[in-house]
């Protein structure tokens, strides 16, 4: 089968579209024919091996996992003997290592049926970004009706989901983004839009019950200035950066963990994990019209390098998706 393979860290030029062995399926696994796969900031970090400290997990000298990608949507081709609930021909979406390929293997606990009305490309855009937004607001931020929330990085992959999920949870949503994306986040339901090129949201008079940070471009003190006295700051790592750093956006997460016990606000680091249950919840939001995946661009699978180059150079809004 064809796949996007990476043997060393570096620019998008290290990604090669070449033949690899089709994955063998164990008794507890499902083999999926990939029809679409989404590009995430995670793929950029893995490709670059950046920040350098992340190589402790990615692989010190070269990537531990050679085939890029995690988010996918496609058709079940085969199921292991111990799998229940899925069969060949089912259209599914989910998360698994090695999704930038014609076939990917996954376990049932990270798979769900594609919501009615979604294309494969739209479904592939949902898992990582949608799950991060859902967990960040519903589970970690404990957002409920009437909550005042601010989303820093509202036009990105996670941000576009967070705006919609915040509204679905009954919150008053303030979205921070650049000028060219203001209309987009407004169309997704944001009650207020702050253009960061013209206005520093950390200097505004408003106070928020929850701040979901998806960028990592402010200090902890600056974020805390806009929190209500009992407010919650949810840190989620940030997206694509300039690269070449030791800690990158992880530095803010480390500082957040270090001071969390000594401040009056709740400072929490979001650790999203793949979940079939959350995929079903996201699917219900889609089917009831409260959540719509937004796609910036699509590329053929063989042009994954160009897709990631676009992500890092052009500051893509919403999601970039590969089709196979």
User: Are residues 110 and 45 part of one domain?
Assistant: yes
Average model confidence (pLDDT) across the chain: 89
pLDDT over 80 at 163, yes or no: yes
* pLDDT for the residue numbered 259: 55
Q: Is 270 helix (H, G, I), strand (E, B) or coil?
A: coil
Is 110 within the bounds of a domain?
Answer: yes
pLDDT over 60 at 283, yes or no: yes
* pLDDT for the residue numbered 240: 54
Is 281 within the bounds of a domain?
Answer: no
CATH number, position 121: 3.90.180.10
Lowest mean pLDDT among 75-89, 128-142, 213-227: 213-227
Sign of CA dihedral 113, 118, 122, 126: negative
User: Are residues 132 and 45 part of one domain?
Assistant: no
Nearest to 145 by CA among 163, 125, 128, 167: 167
Owning domain of residue 235: 128-269
- Residue 39: count of CB within 10 angstroms of its CB: 29
User: Are residues 169 and 63 part of one domain?
Assistant: no
Lowest mean pLDDT among 33-42, 46-55, 230-239, 299-308: 46-55
Is 85 within the bounds of a domain?
Answer: yes
Q: What angle do CA 111, 116, 118 make, to 5 degrees?
A: 80
Question: What is the arithmetic mean of pLDDT over 107-115?
Answer: 97
Within 8 A by CB and 6+ apart from 127, the residues are 38, 70, 71, 72, 93, 94, 95, 110, 274, 279
User: Are residues 188 and 208 part of one domain?
Assistant: yes
* pLDDT for the residue numbered 36: 98
Is 249 within the bounds of a domain?
Answer: yes
User: Are residues 213 and 300 part of one domain?
Assistant: no
Nearest to 281 by CA among 113, 58, 56, 106: 113
Of 33-47, 250-264, 304-318, highest mean pLDDT: 33-47
User: Are residues 186 and 114 part of one domain?
Assistant: no
User: Are residues 200 and 101 part of one domain?
Assistant: no
Is 182 within the bounds of a domain?
Answer: yes
Kindly state the percentage of the chain with pLDDT values over 90.
73
Q: How confident is the model at residue 247 (pLDDT cuts 50, 70, 90)?
A: very low
Is 279 within the bounds of a domain?
Answer: no
User: Are residues 245 and 141 part of one domain?
Assistant: yes
Quick: pLDDT tens for 60-98. 778 888 899 999 999 999 999 999 999 999 999 999 999
Number of structural domains (the chain) is 2
User: Are residues 252 and 303 part of one domain?
Assistant: no
User: Are residues 164 and 91 part of one domain?
Assistant: no
Q: How confident is the model at residue 246 (pLDDT cuts 50, 70, 90)?
A: very low
Structure tokens at 141: 């931020």
Query: Which DSSP letter does residue 260 get?
Result: G
Is 171 within the bounds of a domain?
Answer: yes
* pLDDT for the residue numbered 263: 58
User: Are residues 143 and 264 part of one domain?
Assistant: yes
pLDDT over 70 at 26, yes or no: yes
* pLDDT for the residue numbered 244: 47
Question: What is the arithmetic mean of pLDDT over 223-248?
Answer: 74
User: Are residues 117 and 142 part of one domain?
Assistant: no
Is 151 within the bounds of a domain?
Answer: yes
Within 8 A by CB and 6+ apart from 73, the residues are 34, 35, 36, 37, 91, 92, 93, 114, 120, 121, 123, 124
Q: How confident is the model at residue 131 (pLDDT cuts 50, 70, 90)?
A: very high
* pLDDT for the residue numbered 308: 93
pLDDT over 60 at 148, yes or no: yes
* pLDDT for the residue numbered 178: 93
Tally DSSP H helices, then E strands, for the chain. Answer: 10, 15
Quick: pLDDT tens for 194-210. 999 999 999 988 899 99
CATH number, position 147: 3.40.50.720
Q: Give pTM, 2 decimals.
A: 0.90
* pLDDT for the residue numbered 312: 82
* pLDDT for the residue numbered 142: 97
Instruction: Please give the residue that has the higher pLDDT: either 292 or 245.
Output: 292
């Amino acid at each position: 089968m064809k796949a996007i393979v990476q043997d060393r860290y570096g620019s998008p030029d290290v990604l090669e579209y070449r033949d690899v062995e089709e994955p063998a399926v164990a008794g507890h696994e499902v083999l999926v024919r990939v029809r679409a796969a989404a590009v995430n900031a995670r793929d950029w970090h893995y490709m670059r091996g950046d920040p350098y400290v992340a190589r402790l997990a990615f692989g010190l000298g070269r990537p531990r996992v050679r085939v890029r990608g995690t988010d996918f949507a496609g058709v079940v081709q085969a199921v292991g003997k111990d799998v229940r609930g899925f069969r060949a021909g089912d259209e599914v979406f989910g998360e698994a290592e090695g999704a930038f390929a014609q076939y990917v293997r996954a376990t049932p606990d990270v798979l769900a049926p594609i919501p009615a009305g979604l294309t494969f490309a739209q479904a592939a855009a949902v898992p990582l970004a949608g799950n991060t937004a859902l967990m960040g607001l519903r589970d970690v931020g404990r957002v409920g009706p009437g909550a005042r929330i601010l989303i820093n990085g509202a036009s990105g992959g996670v941000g576009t989901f967070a705006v919609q999920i915040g509204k679905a949870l009954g919150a008053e949503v303030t979205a921070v983004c650049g000028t060219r994306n203001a209309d987009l986040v407004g169309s997704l339901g944001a009650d207020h839009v702050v253009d960061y090129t013209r206005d520093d949201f950390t200097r505004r008079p408003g106070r928020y019950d929850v701040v979901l940070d998806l960028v990592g471009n402010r200090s902890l003190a600056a974020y805390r200035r806009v929190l209500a006295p009992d407010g919650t700051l949810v840190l989620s790592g940030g997206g694509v950066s300039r690269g070449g750093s030791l800690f990158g956006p992880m530095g803010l997460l480390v500082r957040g963990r270090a001071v969390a016990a000594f401040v009056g606000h709740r400072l929490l680091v979001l650790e999203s994990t793949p979940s079939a249950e959350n995929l079903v919840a996201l699917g219900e939001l889609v089917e009831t019209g409260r959540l719509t995946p937004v796609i910036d661009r699509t590329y053929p699978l063989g042009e994954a390098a160009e897709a990631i180059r676009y992500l890092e150079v052009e500051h893509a809004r919403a999601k970039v998706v590969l089709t196979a």
